[in-house]
Amino acid sequence: MQLGTRWTAGEQPPKAVPEALHAQIAAVENALTPDGLSAPAPRWTLTWLEGRPVAELDTGVIVTQDPSGEVVVRYDDDDEFA
């Protein structure tokens, strides 16, 4: 059993986050645009799906590994199932 974890964007990812995801997580964070309203930074949630890590940012960006091990960045589009 693997437990997930949460952390704030801009912080060092916890040890539970596989090193393979770190570069893409950093790239996503570098692309974040501050809103100028002093809103808190979004938070990441790490979960595991079929043994693969899934890091999801509160904004809907998802960084995961596909079955071949390639790191994939996508946006959670709720309209996808409409």
Residue 13 lies in a domain: yes
Q: Determine the 3-state secondary structure of 69 from DSSP.
A: coil
Structural domain of 14: 5-31+41-81
If one counts every other C-beta atom within 10 angstroms of the C-beta of residue 34, the result is: 8
Report the distance separating Cα 13 and Cα 5, nearest Å.
10
Residue 57 lies in a domain: yes
The structural domain count of the chain equals: 1
Report the distance separating Cα 71 and Cα 79, nearest Å.
23
Residue 36 lies in a domain: no
Per-residue pLDDT 10s for the chain (82 aa) are: 577 899 999 999 999 999 999 999 999 999 987 766 777 889 999 999 999 999 999 999 999 999 999 999 999 875 444 4
Residue 16 lies in a domain: yes
Residue 62 lies in a domain: yes
The pTM assigned to this predicted structure is 0.85
Residue 47 lies in a domain: yes
